[in-house]
Copies of this chain bind each other. A is one copy, B any other.
């Protein structure tokens, strides 16, 4: 075992990128991006370009992270891995590289869906000045507003890393970042009505106009998506794994609405809607386009998250910083708002909602909340097993806290430690999902915790799909737009 020196050792070398991967995937990416030029008359020519950009996002993140990591160390953006025995610093805030690649590619993607350079010459009727006929200006505005929100989230996330903003001042950051989106939504006279669930319709009618409350709801959605990933963090690869699985789930859900050649729905309603009817769009071009727009955001996100995860996986060579949580959370909020499927989106956050509810007693101060709640390494043992971190009760817990602790303990959500003499609760494991996993399954190695959370996240997504396409018929009409 390496001797622990007081002076930080030089950081370990960055993970090398297999040349074979780059040399195979780069031509694939170029071919996919070039496909719309070769086959402009295919049904969805720009989806292939988006896939190509996703591959490119993966490759760029994969190669730029090790190349630029050194610059972050020099700029003092570095951190020590608290769950390792090594004392070296590794680059922090590398989410900035992932975010920059993501946003740059989203910008370079603009001409594909939003210009008509691939359309028939007949349609290319030049109108005076800038504009051409049939140009989807409105879609471009919301796309640009979304990128603007993502960029603000990235900038504020990075400022958070540089200035180390206090937890309380951090909370409104996603609200600020969502302002461009809300402004454009408002400027375009966005729809603020929501469909009322069937059981409540006798009171509220079919739809209710939430007005200003709808904007509050949207900004809270971005706050939730961002912070719920941010509080389930601190273990190598955990943030990127969550973002990756949610992004894949959203993309899978989106793909259900594409005009497939074969029929996805069971039995009914295939005779309406022509080409769009083969998916879940039930003939609605609008519904299809919303999910297509969502895919344009999710595919490159899958790319950057996988590329980043390669370097962030145990033992991590780089840290994400808050930047990663901010821009990925914002990306989910953006597609949920623009695609009008925020309830479905929240279903993919089941593990994060569980973790948030679990954390509430500590967040709201009923039970003391230490600065770090991540599982800890046993300093005495020489193994690399992680144990649940504990909150120590200097003063005896209040009556309310004692009730919560006892209930959580009986549900095996926390492990209590009693004082032998007084019989009072001396300490409890912190209320986070990783700690619950360790309480139930016993000490494990760091990467196994990440894998366990990933399995829970995938199970949550399976549950989400079965609720959305199974149970929701009880509360909503099948043919929803």
Contact = CB atoms under 8 A, between A and B. Distances in A.
A277 B127 CA distance: 24
A155 B151 contact: yes
Nearest to A187: B115
A68 to B, nearest CB: 9
A314 interface: no
A129 interface: yes
Contacts of A398: none
Interface in A128-156: 128-132, 135, 137-138, 140-142, 144-145, 147-148, 151-152, 154-155
A45 to B, nearest CB: 15
A141 B137 CA distance: 7
Nearest to A144: B144
Interface string A153-168: 0110010001110000
Contact of A144 (B124, B145, B163, B176): B145
Contacts of A75: 162-164
A449 to B, nearest CB: 32
Contacts of A191: 129-130
Contact of A140 (B108, B147, B187): B187
Interface stretch (A34-42, A177-185, A409-417): A177-185
A116 interface: yes
A189 interface: yes
A126 B193 CA distance: 13
A186 interface: yes
Nearest to A109: B183
Nearest to A96: B159
B130 A189 contact: yes
A187 B148 contact: no
How many identical chains are in the complex? 2
The interface residues of chain A, by DSSP majority, are classed as: helix
Contacts of A184: 110, 140, 144
Contacts of A187: 110-111, 114-115, 135, 140
B138 A130 contact: yes
Contacts of A71: 163
A74 B162 CA distance: 10
B183 A108 contact: yes
Contacts of A164: 75
Interface in A233-285: none
Contacts of A129: 191, 286
A67 to B, nearest CB: 13
A319 B188 CA distance: 40
Contacts of A132: 188-189
A131 B104 CA distance: 28
B183 A131 contact: no
A107 interface: yes
Contacts of A76: 76
A470 interface: no
Interface in A64-89: 71, 74-77
Contacts of A152: 151
A190 interface: yes
Contacts of A186: 111, 115, 117
10 contacts: A75-B162, A108-B179, A110-B187, A116-B189, A131-B138, A140-B184, A144-B184, A147-B180, A148-B151, A154-B155
Interface of A: 71, 74-77, 104, 107-108, 110-111, 114-117, 124, 126, 128-132, 135, 137-138, 140-142, 144-145, 147-148, 151-152, 154-155, 158, 162-164, 176, 179-180, 183-191, 286
Give 4 nearest A-B pairs by CB, closest first.
A137-B137, A115-B187, A144-B144, A110-B183
